[in-house]
């Protein structure tokens, strides 16, 4: 869990943006360059969501095929290349999570076992850069709400699953998340 290397140092957004432009021109070497730089990170993200290595690798495969096909449609004016590529990955992974039936992939969780998830979620927070706004702002939230946000993003839990795990009504879970999001947004502005 304790990958202490600052990952941001390994991912150079400008180099990746240039490589993505290369893909748009049909330069296959640029796809390989992107793969070498971020495929391990993407595999880590997909594995955290899907918890099965074969599924995670399939999602990484699909993501790179998609990056290659859609490189020309990427618009740098709308966001960073890295964010765009990870958004493709998350979109794919969440689709797989939904299609496979979340229960299959999460049945190693105890029901209502938020207590056992909490240390994992706190470990995620600890792995965030201390200098980063996300960590600073997450730490301002009440612990259960912080855990809910972290689990939603890193495990792909739905509103209903969060409610079940926290032992609170669905409506309450929704309003927690919503208020936490707005607090994060204000804090990170």
Partner 1 sequence: MSEDLHALAGEYVLGLLAGDEAQACAGRLAADPAFAMAVEHWRARLAEFDLSAPAQVPSAAVWDRIAAATAAPPALSSPARARRPSAGWGAALSAVWESLPVWRGIGLGAAAATLLLALGLGFQMREAARAPVLVAVLLSGDNRPAAVVNTFRDGRAELIPLAALRAPEGKSLQVWTLWDRARGPVSVGLVDALRSLDLQLKGLPTAVPEQLFEVTLEPAGGSPTGRPTGPILMKGTASRAL
- Reduced to 3 states (helix: H, G, I; strand: E, B; else coil), residue 156 is coil
Cβ proximity to partner 1: between 17 and 177 the closer is 177
Q: Whole-angstrom Cα distance, residue 88 to residue 109?
A: 27
Q: Does 152 bind partner 1 (CB under 8 A)?
A: yes
Contact status: 113 vs partner 1 (CB under 8 A): no
Return the residues of window 115-134 that contact partner 1 according to CB under 8 A: 124, 127-129, 132-134
Per the CB < 8 A criterion, the answer to whether 20 and 11 are in contact is: no
Q: How far is CA 90 from CA 45, 148, 169, in A?
A: 8, 18, 27
Q: Give, in order, the Cα–Cα distances in Å from 105 to each of 11, 43, 45, 155.
A: 30, 16, 15, 10
Q: Does the protein bind partner 1 through residue 106 (CB under 8 A)?
A: no
Contact set for partner 1, span 33-92 (CB under 8 A):
35, 39-41, 43-45, 47-48, 53, 56-57, 60-61, 64-65, 68-73, 78-80, 82-83, 86-87, 90
Q: Give the shortest CB-130-to-partner 1 separation in angstroms.
A: 11
Q: What is the DSSP letter of 74?
A: -
Contact criterion met (CB below 8 Å) for 120 and 1: no
The site that binds partner 1 (CB under 8 A) totals a number of residues, namely 70
Minimum gap (Å) between residue 82 Cβ and partner 1: 7
Between CA 63 and CA 65 the distance in angstroms is: 6
The only residue of 110, 153, 164, 171 in contact with partner 1, by rule CB under 8 A = 153
Q: For residues 15-34, which are near partner 1 according to CB under 8 A?
A: 23-28, 31-32
Using CB under 8 A as the binding rule, whether residue 170 contacts partner 1 is answered as no
**Mind giving me the DSSP string for 90-140?**
HHHHHHHHHHT-HHHHHTTSPTT-HHHHHHHHHHHHHHS-TTSHHHHHHTT
156 φψ region: left (φ > 0), alpha (ψ -120 to 50), beta (else): left
- Contact region for partner 1 (CB under 8 A) — 7-15, 103-111, 112-120, 139-147? 7-15
Residue numbers of the site for partner 1 (CB under 8 A)? 1, 3, 7-8, 11, 23-28, 31-32, 35, 39-41, 43-45, 47-48, 53, 56-57, 60-61, 64-65, 68-73, 78-80, 82-83, 86-87, 90, 94, 98, 124, 127-129, 132-135, 149-150, 152-154, 156-159, 162, 177-178, 181-182, 184-185, 188
């Amino acid at each position: 869990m304790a990958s202490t290397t600052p990952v941001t140092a390994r991912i150079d957004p400008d180099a990746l943006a240039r490589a993505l432009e290369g893909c748009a021109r049909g330069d296959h070497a640029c796809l390989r360059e992107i793969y070498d730089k971020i495929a391990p990170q993407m595999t880590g993200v997909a594995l955290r969501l899907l918890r099965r290595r074969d599924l995670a690798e399939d999602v990484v495969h699909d993501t790179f095929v998609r990056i290659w096909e859609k490189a020309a449609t990427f618009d740098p004016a709308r966001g960073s290349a890295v964010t765009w590529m990870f958004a493709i990955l998350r979109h794919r992974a969440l689709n797989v999570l939904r299609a496979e039936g979340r229960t299959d992939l999460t049945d190693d969780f105890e029901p209502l076992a938020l207590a056992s998830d909490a240390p994992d979620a706190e470990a995620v927070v600890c792995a965030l850069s201390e200098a980063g706004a996300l960590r600073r702002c997450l730490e301002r939230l009440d612990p259960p709400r912080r855990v809910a946000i972290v689990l939603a993003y890193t495990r792909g839990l739905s509103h209903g699953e969060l409610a079940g795990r926290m032992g609170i009504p669905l409506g309450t879970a929704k309003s927690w998340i919503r208020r936490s999001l707005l607090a994060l947004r204000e804090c990170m502005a």
